[in-house]
Structure 1
Amino acid sequence: MSADSTPLQSSAVINEAVQTLRDGGLVAFPTETVYGLGADAKNPEAIKKIFTTKGRPSNHPLIVHLAAPDKFDQAQIDWVALLAPWARDLSEEALRLINAFWPGPLTLVFKKDKNVLNELTGGQDTVAIRAPAHPIAQELLRKFKGGVVAPSANRFGKVSPTSAADVRSEFEGMLDLMVLDGGDCEVGIESTIIDLSSGDKAVLLRPGAITPSEIFARTGVKVYQVGELQDNLEGHGAKEDLPRVSGSLKAHYAPTTPLRLYASGRVLDALSEYPDTKSQVAVVVWDSESSLVLEDHPSIDAEEIIVSSDPNTFASRLYRTLRDLDQQGWDLILFPEPPAGENWDGVRDRLQRACFGSGPSSSSHASN
């Protein structure tokens, strides 16, 4: 999406949003990943409002969003000063990651400053921080002159919103919710989360558009997978020691329609496992694959939905596709399993959690 197709929000609207945040209200705003539901990160009452509005468990931590001031003649932004009220122990590696990828879809987890509210950290001694790249998010944060916590602007556990219309339909009853419209989100899935809080190793806690090999190529910082840590460090850095972060619950990003993944070429197996053969099924297929043989199942009303086999394009439209299919009244949605490789890890992670949480009863196990 080019910048000129973004509906520009006037300064007056942004100023109103800033005032809303200062008054302890919530503002939904666009980022390059998904739309966020924002509140003043230093206001405990406003933060509680996020949890009740979303129906989110209060021990589930939030991400603090910061913006650099306008850099008129600065060659490099002084992130150390900006992070000082929030994080401590900024390592040299942390600064390399920040200078390479901020603003952008990369969240970093640090040991928190003592003044950071427990309400936003889920009671942990760590804080997650990112600098969003969307121009409207940046303008809002610059004018607000502070940190804004902003989980995705949707009901907890459901499909994340990638347009202002998604946010409005998600919170229909909340007439007082201010929504800044910044067009469709470009990245389309939530940020990559890297834990730097242990001090000695960077650990991937949530995959996203920025991959470990891209981080290594641009900064020389090696990012470890959680599994690698357990193999290397018996007793140290085990999963229990890692911070809890956004989007790490087993059921998340989930449509109300049952969602299943099928292995390449195995769509008929997936259909036959589904009990009701009179079903209307939406079968999502790669644009690179020819039409599937669905005639073998005459009792199933199946329709193909073509999606891009490019990982970035697929990611940018994943939630849009899930949301649209969810509203069309299918009995089942079948998605192809994403190919192997870390370029697909982010969408594979989202799809697996969406499958686990999907179906009409998903509210009952969204708490796992």
Structure 2
Amino acid sequence: MSINSTALQTSAVINEAVQTLRDGGLVAFPTETVYGLGADARNPEAIQKLFTAKGRPSNHPVIVHLAAPEKYDAPQVDWAALLSPWVRDLSEDALQLINAFWPGPLTLVFKKDKSVLDEITGGQDTVAIRAPAHPLAQTLLRKFKGGVVAPSANRFGKVSPTSAADVRSEFEGMLDLMVLDGGDCEVGIESTIIDLSSGDHAVLLRPGAITPSQIFAKTGIKVSQPGEVTATHSEKNIPRVSGSLKAHYAPTTPLRLYPPGRVLDALSEFPDIKSRVAVAVWDSDSSLGHDGHPSVYFEEVTVPSDSAAFASRLYRSLRDLDQLGWDLLLFPEPPAGEEWDGVRDRLQRACFGSGPSSSNHASN
């Protein structure tokens, strides 16, 4: 079942989606990052249905999505009351981050309240939470009056969806899946994840549109990289989170990255699969030309040299190219700088998982 964006003004549509969630069904809905596949975060059977639909391992945690409280005339939103059913304790740093960046593409990891289902956390003592900024997501969550777990609305390990059409193509056999169409996603890659569960450090677990520099500039909070944290918060205690597997976001077509100015070298490295190649080039670069490679048929695909625009179109480009029958996709290595860390992370995982056997990589 698909609901078009033009119909979304009617509360009847949202009410139907809310009832579907309450009845233990699944609802795909847009966020500013990617489309999520939503289930009631308090319903173990609904969560199991979600994991089965995605083919997602049951020990892989999911993010709880909450509505931002209605501000009305309140000088400050009371996030503490909203989070108390989910989170054991809320630090001053957490409240600063929430007030600065929620609703928005920032997920925070806390020590969980004892009532939070193990099905959500992968059996860990932490829970990941965010408040998405997309108005349709906010309306749905506010009317639902509860938490909704919503990993990306795609088969596990594959390219995340940034349109309702992507969701429908992923789950075309699921006739009872309700899909809310809120247009194309603006941000285009999944949220930044910050771990606050240690109590004394904010640790970056997944890069995204919100960078550590932006967080420091707005809040004065220093975000550490996992390797920078002292022995009291060792690597083994950092919680597993969504999208942290080595192979993820992967197209079926083999995907490789090439260093600056080395695209023709990259073409030579793959003699077995180089007959038809799609080469992504920066919009600021000149055309490659076909000199010296008569055996290769390649087409150039222009990609934005602005990090936010590149992120916004990344999954769209991968999905579209994946359907065109290329033997190889070549993308430029993103430049240095933390504003590129999110797309660099997604591209590296996509490369590792890509290829005809990518469904097997996802379980590694």
TM-score bin (small chain): over 0.9
Deviation at 1:8, TM superposition (A): 5.5
Which of 232, 235, 257 is residue 236 of structure 1 equivalent to?
232
Secondary structure of 2:257's counterpart equals strand
Matches within 5 A, 1:1-368: 7=6, 9=8, 10-229=10-229, 233=230, 235-276=231-272, 279-368=275-364
CA contact (8 A) 2:274 2:328 kept: no
Runs of 4+ aligned structure 1 residues displaced above 6 Å come to none
What is the aligned-residue RMSD (CA, Å)?
Answer: 1.2
Partners of 1:76 and 1:323 in 2: how far apart? 41
Aligned length: 360
Partners of 1:321 and 1:132 in 2: how far apart? 24
Partners of 1:217 and 1:294 in 2: how far apart? 46
Deviation at 1:238, TM superposition (A): 2.0
Deviation at 1:277, TM superposition (A): 6.2
Partners of 2:274 and 2:254 in 1: how far apart? 15
Secondary structure of 1:88's counterpart equals coil
CA contact (8 A) 2:204 2:224 kept: yes
Deviation at 1:122, TM superposition (A): 0.4
Structure 1: 5+ residue runs without aligned partners? 1-5
Secondary structure of 2:233's counterpart equals coil
CA contact (8 A) 1:66 1:132 kept: yes
Partners of 2:141 and 2:315 in 1: how far apart? 25
Identity of aligned residues (%): 82
Deviation at 1:362, TM superposition (A): 1.0
Partners of 1:85 and 1:179 in 2: how far apart? 28
Deviation at 1:76, TM superposition (A): 1.4
Q: 1:278 to 1:262 in 2, by over 3 A?
A: closer
Letter of the aligned partner of 1:265 in structure 2?
G
Partners of 2:360 and 2:84 in 1: how far apart? 40
Deviation at 1:48, TM superposition (A): 0.5
Deviation at 1:269, TM superposition (A): 1.2
Secondary structure of 1:194's counterpart equals strand
CA contact (8 A) 1:8 1:182 kept: no
CA contact (8 A) 2:273 2:328 kept: no
Deviation at 1:268, TM superposition (A): 1.1
TM, length-normalised to structure 1: 0.96
Partners of 1:45 and 1:55 in 2: how far apart? 15
Deviation at 1:294, TM superposition (A): 2.9
Deviation at 1:114, TM superposition (A): 0.2
Deviation at 1:278, TM superposition (A): 5.5
Letter of the aligned partner of 1:306 in structure 2?
T
Partners of 1:128 and 1:91 in 2: how far apart? 15
Partners of 1:264 and 1:239 in 2: how far apart? 33
Deviation at 1:237, TM superposition (A): 1.7
Partners of 2:31 and 2:239 in 1: how far apart? 24
Q: 1:323 to 1:277 in 2, by over 3 A?
A: closer
CA contact (8 A) 2:273 2:327 kept: no
CA contact (8 A) 2:68 2:102 kept: no
Letter of the aligned partner of 2:347 in structure 1?
L
Letter of the aligned partner of 1:122 in structure 2?
G
CA contact (8 A) 2:62 2:120 kept: yes
Secondary structure of 2:299's counterpart equals strand
Deviation at 1:71, TM superposition (A): 2.1
CA contact (8 A) 2:69 2:79 kept: no
Letter of the aligned partner of 2:318 in structure 1?
L
Partners of 2:187 and 2:7 in 1: how far apart? 19
Partners of 1:43 and 1:278 in 2: how far apart? 48
Letter of the aligned partner of 1:237 in structure 2?
H
- CA deviation vs aligned residue, 1:98-126 (integer Å, no higher than 9, x gap): 00000000000000000000000000000
Secondary structure of 2:14's counterpart equals helix
Partners of 2:96 and 2:318 in 1: how far apart? 36
Partners of 2:104 and 2:174 in 1: how far apart? 30
Secondary structure of 1:236's counterpart equals helix
Secondary structure of 1:129's counterpart equals strand
Partners of 2:275 and 2:197 in 1: how far apart? 48
Q: 1:102 to 1:272 in 2, by over 3 A?
A: same
